[in-house]
Amino acid sequence: MFSWAIFVLQVQLMDITEVLLATQSHDGQIRNVAEGNIKQFEEQSLPQFLQALSAELSNDNKPPVSRRLAGILLKNSLDANDLVRKEKCTQRWISVDPAIKSQVKGSLLMTLGSPVSDAHRSSSQVIAKIASIEIPLQGWPELIVSLLGNMTKPDASPSLKQATLDAIGYVCEEISPKDLEQDQVNAVLTAVVQGMNHVENSSGVRLAAVKALYNALDFAETNFQNESERNYIMKVVCETAISKEADIRKAAFECLVSIASTYYDLLEPYMQTLFELTANAARADEEQVALQAIEFWSTICDEEVAIQEDAEESGDVSPECHFHFIEKALPLLVPMLLETLLKQEEDQDEDDGIWNISMAGGTCLGLVATTVKDAIVPLVMPFIEGNITKPDWHSREAATFAFGSILEGPSVEKLAPLVHAGFDFLLNATKDQNNHVRETTAWALSRAFEFLHSPTSGVSVVTNANLPHVIEIMLTSIKDSPNVAEKICGALYFLAHGYENAGSMSSVLSLYFGQLVSALLATADRSDSNNSRLCASAYETLNEIVRCSSIADTLNMIVLLLQEILKRLNQTFEFQITSSEDKEKQSDLQALLCGVVQVILQKFSNCDDKSVIIQFADQIMVLFLRVFSCDCSNVHEEAMLAIGALAYATGPEFVKYMPEFHKYLEMGLQNFGAYQVCCVSVGVVADICRALDDKVLPYCDAIMSALLKDLSSPELHRSVKPPILSCIGDIALTIGEHFEKYVPYTVPMLQGAAELCSRMDLPDDDSTEYKNELRRSIFEAYSGILQGVKNSKSELMVPYASHIFQFAELVLRETSRDEGLTKAGVALVGDLADALGPSIKLLLKNSNFHSELLGRCSQSDDEQLRETASWVQGVISRVLVS
Ligand SMILES: *[C@@H]1O[C@H](CO)[C@@H](O)[C@H](O)[C@H]1NC(C)=O
Ligand SMILES: *[C@@H]1O[C@H](CO)[C@@H](O)[C@H](O)[C@H]1NC(C)=O
Ligand SMILES: *[C@@H]1O[C@H](CO)[C@@H](O)[C@H](O)[C@H]1NC(C)=O
Ligand SMILES: *[C@@H]1O[C@H](CO)[C@@H](O)[C@H](O)[C@H]1NC(C)=O
Ligand SMILES: *[C@@H]1O[C@H](CO)[C@@H](O)[C@H](O)[C@H]1NC(C)=O
Ligand SMILES: *[C@@H]1O[C@H](CO)[C@@H](O)[C@H](O)[C@H]1NC(C)=O
Ligand SMILES: *[C@@H]1O[C@H](CO)[C@@H](O)[C@H](O)[C@H]1NC(C)=O
Ligand SMILES: CC(=O)N[C@H]1CO[C@H](CO)[C@@H](O)[C@@H]1O
């Protein structure tokens, strides 16, 4: 208490402004001291810390910089990206003395009126963070009223209005629609719509208002259902979309995009107007606005495709909620999109990730094709034919882009004439004099191979007759400039992919296997590109070619390839590493090479002769263990996957690597941060159990302890937990009675997981799917344990029988489960009866649930389920008569 009082005194003596400014000092030492002081202040006396910062933020006599920093620190003390930390922040704020909280909130609300933009902007963000904690808990009920009250005061300054609208927008972004009462929503919308009105003279206010509306749209469900209110909102948004300020127009179109996805079924009366607005913007407005206008149509496509997919699933031929907006707009929409394709820039930026108008137009055209299918072809065909031979490269590129864009959606029959006429042309165009045209041509070829090359179904642009020519073009063009070569890699990928599972048909490619592999290895080595994607594409394509090749023809060449890849992997350890960039390059390359090794191992493990794998296993393991010692989470994942494949392929032989490998496996299992690595490691445990059988026993203590720790960790990503449970089932099955010592630790975990399922909130499909996955994995874990202990230690599980039985009953009585879950559940009931036999006779006798369930299952369409059910029936009958 004493030292704490001294500390508070110290901070009061310390000038907070100076400390804040010192965190920006050029002198590292001053910076460190200041940051240390601040951290200590926050940890040791949070209430005073919050008070001091909010006072700083609200004081117009303080420098803008320190006020902004105060705002950032406040925000960070309330929220964090990391979920665990975020929860900590929330609890900490809740426990602060209400008087202090109210003081902090008061000064934040006051700061909204500050003329200093750094200050009022920070303040609105902090207000939103507090709202996100309090409003869902019914706290701070007066917030919305005071915000709106400030704003509608007759003498409210533009900056106050703007800051208030910002705050409203951020608050809506943070909370969910169920947290606000309808009258609050009405008041928010009224204020926002007023702010958007053109009589409002300040453009800053209007912009803030449109942005706030964007965040408030989800809250406006009731208002959109009321026709007159909806008309009014739409009128104001449409008017705003032709404001004179481009950033306001852009924000208005963003609202329209969001409205298109949220309120699709209410749009009909406005479509004429919306078409005109978006068409004008796409044709003539600034790029940032035009992009949003096109996005509006892409969103409508997404909605209609989703409606069509749902309808197909449920067998509904003419779903009521489908308005066919795209079909109706088609004659005007398609020309508008084609026009955007001609807007390529002369000095194109080859840096990707830049989204621009021609890319957006092409993407939208592709979505339109997916939506309306055949109807698009006659509308685009004349454009392609008319422009693909024009002297101006822009025309040729646009025509090629249009061609590639519409290949997904329309039927093969409808596309056939276009493609027959176009395919040879396209192959020739890989020699066009213009680099952009060649790049788009290579991309269009990859689309043609992706959607129109399926030798097994007899439909393919590639025939045995033209294959030699196609390959020749590929081998030539892969030497073109890096941007073209990358697209050619993509084309080769889909060319090979077409022969997946094609049996002897894939032999047509075997003839070129060696040449293609050499070309790809050379491409991966190219030094004329700073773009690491080319190297990655080359290796990924190589993988696909190996995967889809006919092993009988290519075995020897794959062995040579493996040697080459191992040599390359070995060379990566010799790289000069002088910077973090070098390090990253090295580990990226290692990841790619480990990926190739994995694909090759999988290929070999599907063939009967494992001698090749055995021959290389030592060398592979030596290299992989070196990769692990490089300590990079990204590489671990790829190498882990490959080791799983190696274990699977080598079988019991793998045991000789365990003394070295197990420590990396355990590290992988404990890698909470890179949860994918953890997940892959869990998969490898299962592979190893299968490979080693009971030779895995010496490693089980460590593995089980890591897995149980994973299960109980709140930090580990939830998606890893079901695989862990299934993996425990695998271990139990593998080690049988030796699982005994883990039972007292494992069963309570499984019970806890089952309980978690019953308490789980299911706001969306993802959560439902996750819950089913979790329950299935619990079933699998129990099944593994029961089967494992069945022969000699079945009495271990008797105490848990009734709990397991009840859990299975609870789950299997529910309607929202999927097939996989049902199967696992039915199998578990069988395993229970099979393993525990007479000990659970009474349990089975006293329940009629199993006969009901098995009756239902025996009627199922699923043969496997019927078989399982009949086995279970047999087991139960035997128990009942015992
Ligand atoms: C906008 O400016 C006009 C003329 O300057 C003024 O008459 C009007 O009241 C202003 N409107 C608002 C909402 O401030
Ligand atoms: C729709 O909104 C208007 C204006 O807010 C209101 O007067 C009317 O009663 C509402 N209609 C319905 C059916 O709720
Ligand atoms: C958009 O970017 C692509 C790829 O970088 C380029 O080919 C195209 O010309 C660009 N278009 C515009 C309008 O900038
Ligand atoms: C080719 O593109 C031009 C625009 O440059 C377009 O106006 C014309 O309609 C296209 N040609 C055909 C035959 O569609
Ligand atoms: C492709 O080029 C070859 C040789 O230059 C030519 O004979 C053939 O007609 C061209 N094909 C098409 C469809 O343009
Ligand atoms: C790669 O980048 C470096 C530095 O950014 C540049 O000097 C070099 O010319 C680039 N090489 C290629 C082939 O683009
Ligand atoms: C790696 O290369 C070195 C020579 O550079 C060789 O001695 C060693 O055997 C190679 N290791 C493996 C596992 O291939
Ligand atoms: C800037 C401003 O006037 N803020 C006021 C908004 O309203 C609340 C209470 O209604 C006042 O506390 C703020 O000072």
Q: Which H or E run contains 408?
A: none
Q: What DSSP assignment string belongs to 353-399?
A: T---HHHHHHHHHHHHHHHHGGGGHHHHHHHHHHHTT-SSHHHHHHH
Residue 604 is assigned to a structural domain of this protein: no
Decide if pLDDT at 96 tops 60.
Answer: yes
Q: Quote the CA–CA distance of 258 and 33 in Å, as a whole number.
A: 47
- Pocket mutation for ligand 2, best pick of 229, 230, 231 (most atoms within 8 Å of C-beta): 229
* Nearest protein CA to atom 1 of ligand 7, as residue: 570
Give the residue-averaged pLDDT of 393-403: 95
Between 151 and 291, the more confident residue is 291
Q: What is the DSSP letter of 140?
A: -
Query: DSSP code of 4?
Result: H
Specify whether the CB–CB gap between 352 and 325 falls below 8 A.
no
Measured distance CA(502)–CA(72) in Å, rounded: 59
Residue 572 CA, ligand 7 centroid: distance in Å: 11
Q: Which of 226, 227, 230 to mutate to test the pocket of ligand 2 (most atoms within 8 A of CB)?
A: 226
Q: What is the pLDDT of residues 157-174, one digit of tens each?
A: 999 999 999 999 999 999
DSSP string, 88-128: HHHHHHHTS-HHHHHHHHHHHHHHTT-S-HHHHHHHHHHHH
CA 79-81-85 angle, to 5 degrees, is 65
Please give the structure tokens belonging to residue 239.
Answer: 């008017």
Atom of ligand 6 lying closest to residue 528 CA:
13
At 812, is the secondary structure helix, strand, or coil? helix
Q: For ligand 5, what atom is nearest to the CA of residue 428? A: 1
**Cα of 485 to ligand 6 centre, how many Å?**
18
CB-ligand 8 contact for 147 (6 Å cutoff): no
Tell which residue, 399, 395, 326, 332, has the closest CA to residue 362.
399
Residue 469 CB less than 6 A away from ligand 5? no
Q: Of 154-163, 343-352, 489-498, 621-630, where does mean pLDDT reach its minimum?
A: 343-352
pLDDT for the residue numbered 1: 43
> How far, in Å, CA of 403 to CA of 176, rounded?
43
Q: Answer for the pair 785, 834: CB distance below 8 angstroms, yes or no.
A: no
Ligand 3 pocket residue status of 349, Cβ below 6 Å: yes
Q: Convert the pLDDT of each residue in 817-852 to its tens digit.
A: 678 899 999 999 999 999 998 888 888 888 888 888
Boundary-marking domain end, from 386, 406, 440: 386
Q: Which candidate, 731, 833, 729, 735, places its Cα nearest to that of 776?
A: 729
**Secondary structure element (H or E) that encloses residue 717, with its range:** none
Over the Cα atoms of the chain, what is R_g? 32
At 483-533, the pLDDT tens digits run 999 999 999 999 999 998 887 788 889 999 999 999 999 999 998 877 789
φ and ψ of 405, to 5 deg:
-70, -30
Domain harbouring 733, CATH code: 1.25.40
Which residue out of 530, 531, 534, 581 has the highest number of ligand 6 atoms within 8 Å of its CB and is therefore the one to mutate? 530
Sequence-ordered list of residues with C-beta below 8 angstroms from that of 197, at least 6 positions apart, any chain? 206, 236
Encoded tokens for 803: 């709990």
Dist CA 710 CA 184 (whole Å): 44
Q: Please indicate whether residue 164, judged by its CB atom, sits closer than 6 Å to ligand 8.
A: no
Q: Which of 424, 472, 473 to mutate to test the pocket of ligand 5 (most atoms within 8 A of CB)?
A: 424
- Ligand 6 pocket member 527 (CB < 6 A): no
Ligand 3 mean position, distance from CA 474 (Å): 24
Q: What is the DSSP letter of 349?
A: -
Would residue 274 count as lying in a domain?
Answer: yes
**pLDDT tens digits, residue range 145-160?**
999 998 888 888 999 9
Residue 201 lies in a domain: no
Distance 148 CA to ligand 2 centre (A): 22
* Mean pLDDT, residues 615-625: 93
Pocket around ligand 2: residues whose beta carbon is below 6 Å from it?
A: 226, 228-229
Question: 739 lies in which domain range?
Answer: 717-882
Spatial separation of the C-alpha atoms in residues 449 and 494, rounded to whole Å:
5
Computed over every residue of the chain, the mean pLDDT equals 91
Local confidence band at 347 (pLDDT 50, 70, 90 cut-offs): low
Whether 200 is in the pocket of ligand 1, judged by its Cβ within 6 Å, is yes
Tokens of 327: 């079909």
Q: Give CA separation, 150 vs 33, 101, 135, 214, in Å.
A: 40, 20, 19, 21
- Digit-coded pLDDT (tens) for 43-82: 989 999 999 999 999 999 999 999 999 999 999 999 998 7
Q: What is the pLDDT of residue 99?
A: 95
What residues are in contact with ligand 7 under a 6 Å CB criterion?
Answer: 566, 570, 619, 622-623
Q: Is residue 834, in this structure, part of any structural domain at all? A: yes
| Mean pLDDT computed over 274-297 | 96
Distance from Cα 345 to the centre of ligand 3, integer Å: 6
Distance of CA 736 to the CA centre of its chain: 38
Residue 272 in contact with residue 238, Cβ under 8 Å? no
Residue 694 lies in a domain: no
Considering the entire predicted model, what is its pTM? 0.85
DSSP code of residue 459:
E
Closest ligand to Cα 142: 8
d(CA 657, CA 674): 24
Q: Is 110 exposed, middle or buried (0-12, 13-18, 19+ CB in 10 A)?
A: middle
356 Cβ below 6 A of ligand 3: yes
Which residues form ligand 4's pocket by a CB distance below 6 Å?
342, 382-383, 386-387, 395
For residue 573, which ligand has an atom nearest its CA? 7
Distance (angstroms) between ligand 5 centre and the Cα of 495 equals 22
Question: What is the mean predicted confidence (pLDDT) over 701-724?
Answer: 91
410-459: per-residue pLDDT in tens? 999 899 888 888 899 999 999 999 999 999 999 999 999 999 998 888 88
Percentage above 90 pLDDT, the chain: 71
194 lines ligand 1 (CB under 6 A): no
- Cβ burial of 677 (10 Å; 0-12, 13-18, 19+) is buried
The pair of three-digit structure tokens given for residue 781, joined into one six-digit string: 């874990």
Output the residue whose Cα is nearest ligand 8's atom 10: 146
pLDDT at 663 over 60: yes
β 459-460/453-454 pair status: antiparallel
Tell me the CA–centroid distance for residue 384 and ligand 4, in Å.
Answer: 8
Please report whether residue 774 resides in a domain: yes
Decide if 509 contacts 549 (C-beta within 8 A).
Answer: yes
Residue scoring higher pLDDT (520 or 318)? 520
Long-range contacts: 300-307, Cβ < 8 Å, 24+? 300/260, 300/264, 300/325, 300/326, 301/326, 301/364, 301/367, 301/368, 301/370, 301/371, 302/261, 302/367, 303/260, 303/261, 303/264, 304/371, 305/367, 305/370, 305/371
User: Is the model more confident about 295 or about 457?
Assistant: 295
Residue of 61, 58, 54, 52 whose CA lies nearest to 19:
52
* Residue 255 domain-assigned (yes or no): yes
Query: Which ligand sits nearest to residue 434's alpha carbon?
Result: 3
Ligand 7 atom 13, closest CA: 619
Which numbered atom of ligand 5 lies nearest the CA of 427? 1
Local confidence band at 597 (pLDDT 50, 70, 90 cut-offs): very high
Q: Which residues contact 178 (CB under 8 A, 6 or more apart)?
A: none
pLDDT at 7: 52
199 lines ligand 1 (CB under 6 A): yes
DSSP three-state, residue 561: helix
Atom 14 (ligand 8): residue with closest C-alpha?
110
Establish whether residue 528 lines the binding site of ligand 6, counting it when its CB lies within 6 angstroms of any ligand atom.
Answer: yes
Distance from Cα 518 to the centre of ligand 7, integer Å: 22
Q: In this model, does residue 554 exceed pLDDT 80?
A: yes
Protein residue with least CA distance to atom 8, ligand 8: 146
- pLDDT-based confidence at residue 552 (cuts at 50, 70, 90): confident
Residue of the nearest CA to atom 4 in ligand 2? 229
Ligand 3 centre and the CA of 342: distance in Å?
Answer: 10
**573 Cα–ligand 7 center, Å:** 10
Atom of ligand 6 nearest to the CA of 527: 13
Of 556 and 607, the one with more pLDDT: 556
Q: Is 154 helix (H, G, I), strand (E, B) or coil?
A: coil
Q: What is the pLDDT of residue 2?
A: 46
Ligand 6 centroid vs 343 CA: distance in angstroms?
A: 28
Ligand 5 centre distance from Cα of residue 424 (Å): 7
Atom 2 (ligand 4): residue with closest C-alpha? 387
- Which ligand 1 atom sits nearest the alpha carbon of residue 200? 13
Percentage of the chain surpassing pLDDT 70?
96
Q: How far apart are CA 396 and CA 418, in angstroms?
A: 16
Domain count, the chain: 2
What is the atom index within ligand 1 of the atom nearest the CA of 197? 13
The predicted model gives 694-713 an average pLDDT of: 93
- Tell me which residue of 117, 101, 118, 104 sits closest to 158, measured CA to CA: 117
pLDDT bin (cut points 50, 70, 90) of residue 340 is very high
Whether 764 shows a pLDDT value over 80: the answer reads no
Closest-lying ligand to the alpha carbon of 230?
A: 2
Cα(569) to ligand 4 centroid in Å equals: 52
Q: Whose CA is nearest to atom 13 of ligand 3?
A: 344
Structure tokens that stand for 605 in this block: 């493990």
User: pLDDT-derived band of residue 8, with 50, 70 and 90 as boundaries?
Assistant: low
Query: 435 C-alpha to center of ligand 6: Å?
Result: 19
Tell me if 867 is assigned to some domain: yes
Ligand number with the minimum distance to the CA of 572? 7
Whether pLDDT at 42 is above 60: yes
Q: Name 42's Cβ contacts closer than 8 Å, sequence gap at least 6.
A: 49, 73, 77
